Amino acid sequence: MTRYFLGIDGGGTSCRAALADETGRIIGRGKSGASNILTDPDTALRHIEEASRRAFEEAGLVPHLASASSVLGLAGNNVGDAVSYVSARLPFRQSDIVSDGVIALQGAIGDEDGAIGIVGTGTVYIARHQSKLHSIAGWGFQVSDLGSGARLGQMALQESLLAHDTIRPLTDLTRAILAEFGNNPEAVVDFARLAKPGDFGRFTPKVFEHAARGDEAALRLLRQGAACIDEALDAVDRLTRNTGRLCLLGGLGPLYPPYLAERHRGRISAPLADALTGAVALAIQTFGRKETLTA
């Protein structure tokens, strides 16, 4: 029987699968819906299977999931119960569930040492040094995720209230945000009380836009956010002794470098490949050699 390798990248909005043959060449891809194993494991399972079938079909093959060895990078993988539930029900020959960060690292830096920062709604840093993985930060919105989209958006709302209260000068950014709430600070407070991290993050594009036009408040927020990222990258550099590739991923990854310290800006490079490619590589690494040895 032919052996196939599946890489799967599953998150809160979509699930992507890539199929590789025994040589490691990607021969088909598939996409489906949300696959958050924490909030809805059964839907996640259905979408994982759906994306995988489509990858087989795109390769011109009759889907035969039991012939595939897979590595799945899934958000929510840090909760043991969800992982056990999903693991026991996966349709593959063999499989391994890792974090979405681990497949992103593999995709971005390949097999060498190095590190990534993923700066999106949240913020997490993953480094590989002498084959050992280290995760830094990424503890969520309330007490971590400094510099993230959610925190920047929250700070933009806070800055708007400070301007409303004449504690800081009004700028175009804070004027625009207050206007969005009908210039009613109580509307800002009502919004913030129920806001999820993603809701705060909705204001972050505005911060970058206004900073590009020299807005003082926007620049202050980005300098604070960038200082937090610089500090975390310093910790990453201490771990990796400044060796290997360093990539900044996530929605804000390409936007932050102009605001970062020169020592990091100069070191950041483009990722080698995306997270899905990383998942395929890990599937081959994890299950390819083992099967050869036991064949």
By the criterion CB under 8 A, which residues form the site for its own copies? Answer: 136-137, 139-140, 142-144, 146, 154, 157-158, 161-162, 165-168, 185, 188-189, 192-193, 195, 231-232, 234-235, 238-239
Residue 145 CA to residue 200 CA, distance in Å, equals: 13
Nearer to its own copies, 39 or 292 (CB): 39
Q: How many Cα neighbours within 13 Å face the side chain of 204?
A: 25
Q: Scanning the structure block, which residue is given the tokens 């390949």?
A: 110
* d(C-alpha 71, C-alpha 281), whole Å: 9
Closest distance to its own copies from the beta carbon of 188 (Å): 6
- In angstroms, what is the minimal distance from the CB of 42 to its own copies? 24
User: With respect to its own copies, which residue has the nearer C-beta, 150 or 249?
Assistant: 150
In the complex, least distance from residue 5 CB atom to its own copies, rounded to whole angstroms: 32
The terminus-to-terminus CA distance of the chain in angstroms comes to: 12
> Which residue from 56, 65, 119 is spatially nearest to 90, judged by alpha carbons?
65
Smallest separation (angstroms) from its own copies to the CB of 234: 8
Q: Which is nearer to its own copies, 95 or 123 (CB)?
A: 123
**In contact, 103 and 276? CB cutoff 8 Å:** yes
The Cα 143–Cα 264 span in angstroms is: 24
Q: What is the DSSP string of 93-161?
A: SEEEEEEHHHHHHHHHHTTSSEEEEEESSSEEEEEEETTEEEEEE---TTT--TTSHHHHHHHHHHHHH
Q: Please state the closest distance from residue 108 (CB atom) to its own copies, in A.
A: 20
CB of 70 or CB of 171, closer to its own copies: 171
Q: In Å, what is the CA distance from 183 to each residue of 11, 98, 172, 175, 251?
A: 36, 45, 13, 8, 29
Q: Which is nearer to its own copies, 18 or 137 (CB)?
A: 137
Structural contact between residues 118 and 103, judged by C-beta atoms closer than 8 angstroms: no
Paired tokens of 82: 């969800």
- Distance of closest approach, residue 153 Cβ to its own copies, in angstroms: 10
Minimum distance of its own copies from residue 164's CB (angstroms):
9
> Which residue lies nearer to its own copies by CB, 219 or 283?
219
CB of 85 or CB of 191, closer to its own copies:
191
Q: Which is nearer to its own copies, 130 or 142 (CB)?
A: 142
Determine the Cα–Cα distance for residues 247 and 257; give it in Å rounded to an integer.
11
Torsion of CA 27, 94, 134, 197, to 10 degrees: 80
**Least distance to its own copies from the beta carbon of 85, Å?**
19
Instruction: Look at residue 7 and give its three-state secondary structure.
Output: strand
